[in-house]
Each structure stands twice: as C-alpha cells, then as structure tokens.
Structure 1
Amino acid sequence: MAAADDLFDERGTEVPLDDVVRRAGLGSGTLYRHFASRDALLAAVFWGRIDALCEEAESLLAAESPVKGIVVWLRSLIGLTMRRGLAAALAADNKDGGSELFRYCRETLDAAATPLLERVKEDGSFHPDLEVSDLITFTHAIAVAAERAPDREEHADRLLHLLLDGLRTREDPLRDL
C-alpha cells in the first residue's frame, strides 16, 4: 500500500499496477490476492486518510472560531484530494451513482463537513444557501486546478481564499441582475 500511495502521489491514480508491484518488490499475484481491482487498491490507500480527515472535522468543531475550524479542514481536504488524479478519479466515479469508493468518500466527507458548515452558517459567516455538496465540489475543483501547479499548495491556498471570500455573507451584488 505504501508503494501505491507514493506512486499515486507521484504519477496519478492511473499508474500501471505493474509499476506498483515493482516498487513494492512483490509479485503481481500478491497484489491481486489482496486487491482485486484498481478501485480496491485506491480504497485501501485512501479510506484510512478519509477516516482521519473525518476525525479532524470532529475535533475542529471545538475550535473557538467556526470559520477557522472549517478553513483548516478544507485545507486538509484539498491537500488529500490534490494528490495527483484523486479528485478527478473520485469525480469520474460519480457517473451513474459511482463506485463503492466514491460513495463511501462522498457520504463520509459530507457527514464530516455538515456540522462544520452549519456552525459557520449559524454564526452568519457563510451564505445561508451554501450546501455541503457545493463546498465539497468547490474543494475538488480547487484540487484539480492546483494539483499540477509547481507551487500547488500556494496555488490551492490562493484559490481557497478567493472561494471563501465569495462565500462570506454580505449583500448579494448579483441579486438584481
């Protein structure tokens, strides 16, 4: 799994599984005995990270500032999905209900983000119409846009800052258009 994780980060989620086998120093039979498909390997690599991200969301509910709590969590989410090809792979799996991996990730992330989002909406920091699915979609878009930039973390932070500025509650200048 460590070899797959490294290669997914270096070359994207479509890296040939034979390359994973070589990096791990295993035979292909060993890989396929444990992981019947690419999705199964992706799931094994990323489910643990998704669970850790959800635990982080829960702990951030105690943050003094609701905005700080959600921003820290969104940065972590973008950092995870910015791994080469993961955000695109998760989005591609959404067709026709998606794979088990996509459904698990989406449901788990939505459940983790909902209390954080409700907290910032309740204190009036974010637009009241914002839905958790919007927020997750925006963060995946940021990850896709920034993942190949040479300064990907800085680029992602800039895009997140612009997004958050747009989500703040204030009179809607587009309302009369």
Structure 2
Amino acid sequence: MSEAVQRKPRADGQRNRARLIAVALRLFVERGPDVSFIEIAKEAGVGVGTVYRHFPTREDLIEAAYRSELDAVCAVAGELLDEVRPQDALRIWMDRFIDYMTTKIGLTEAIRVVIAAGGNPFAYSRERLGEAVAALLSATAAAGVTRPGLRPDDIVMSLSGIAMAAGGPGQREQAGRMLDLLYEGMRTRP
C-alpha cells in the first residue's frame, strides 16, 4: 500500500477522549498542571494507558483541554444565532465568553507548562474568537441592534478586560453589570 488508510476514531474512543479532556480541565483548573495521569484516568473511568494513547505528553493534554474550551465558546456563537434573536445571541455569548476566560485564567499555570515546552496554545485563539464575534456583530448590525463598523478584536479585548477585572466566581454579578455597559455601548442610537 502506498498510502496509510486513515480510520475514523471509534465512538468509545471519542467518548473516552472527551471524558479525559473534561476531567483534566477541571483538575488542572482546581489543582494545577501536576495532577497525575493516574488520577485523571481514574476520575474519567479509564485506564492510564488510555490517557497516554490519546495524549502522549502532559502538554498534549493541557493543550487539548484549553482548545476544547476555545472550540466550545466559538461554536456556541453560531448555535445561539440559530436559536435566538441576534441581540440575545450576542449578550448570551458575552456571558459565555466570561466563563471561557475564567477557565483560561484558571489554566494559566498549566498553559505555562505548554509554552515552556515550546507549544503555542494561543496560535489561533484570537483569530477564532474574532470570527465568532464578527458573526455575532454582523447579525446584530443587520438587525439594526448594534452600530455598524464595530471591530471584533476591540470587543474581544474589552471582554477579556472585564474577565480579568471581574471574572472570578464571586464577581459574576459585577461582571454582568460590566457586560451590560459594554453591550449598551455597542447598540445603535435613535
């Protein structure tokens, strides 16, 4: 054979991978990057060999955990636009972004491990987030809700600032008020 045949991962393998990522993400946020693969495997209900099969290095698992959160927050923008009015989609997504950033901040120590090993977990983050925000802004501008010409990168940076200032679990009420201020500043004026 001249070419290797690429097989689609088995359903149980995909479920195991998803469980491993979810458990690892939670444990990395709670306790840092030094959580053992044995503990991650045990909580995910798989053997430690399964962890190594999916993620040969700790850095691979940390990066997968981070990217899963990025994928989720970007995907939800389109899902919200399909489910609710554009203005509601934008405001709901802004809250979801704060959740994403809170997790990202919780992963700071773990992400440093990836960067120290030469990885770049943020390689496409800003671009992907910008695309998600651009879709939301396009829909809200077309609906006459937000001002045309808003720059997605400005919105992402503003949301990041809110998350840094008030992204902690005990500050959700304040973060919500700050998001409302940002949202009102983006709206069209009669």
**Fold match (TM-score > 0.5):** yes
Matched residue count = 160
Pairing partner for 2:175 from 156, 161, 164: 156
Residues 1:136 and 2:136 aligned together: no
Residues 83 and 147, structure 1, Cα contact 8 Å, conserved in 2: no
User: What does residue 76 of structure 2 align with?
Assistant: 56
Residues 7 and 20, structure 1, Cα contact 8 Å, conserved in 2: no
Residues 29 and 107, structure 2, Cα contact 8 Å, conserved in 1: no
Residues 1:41 and 2:92 aligned together: no
Q: For 1:116-163, what per-residue CA distance to the aligned partner results, in whole angstroms no more than 9, with x for missing partners?
A: 111112233223231111111111111111233x52322221111111
Pairing partner for 1:24 from 13, 34, 40: 40
Instruction: Give aligned-pair identity as a percent.
Output: 31
Question: Gapped runs of 5+ residues in structure 1?
Answer: 93-98, 172-177
Residues 1:114 and 2:134 aligned together: yes
Match of 1:85, SS? helix
Q: Shift of residue 169 of structure 1?
A: 2.1
Query: TM-score scaled by structure 2?
Result: 0.65
Residues 141 and 148, structure 2, Cα contact 8 Å, conserved in 1: yes
Residues 21 and 31, structure 1, Cα contact 8 Å, conserved in 2: yes
Question: Gapped runs of 5+ residues in structure 2?
Answer: 1-19, 43-49, 113-118
Counterpart Cα distance in 2 of 1:77 and 1:145: 14
Amino acid in structure 2 at the alignment position of 1:158? R
User: What does residue 124 of structure 1 align with?
Assistant: 144
Residues 87 and 140, structure 1, Cα contact 8 Å, conserved in 2: no
Residues 74 and 139, structure 1, Cα contact 8 Å, conserved in 2: yes
Query: TM-score scaled by structure 1?
Result: 0.69
Return the index of the structure with the highest Cα Rg: 2
Trace 1:166-177 onto structure 2 (pairs within 5 A). 166-170=185-189
Pairing partner for 2:122 from 97, 102, 105: 102
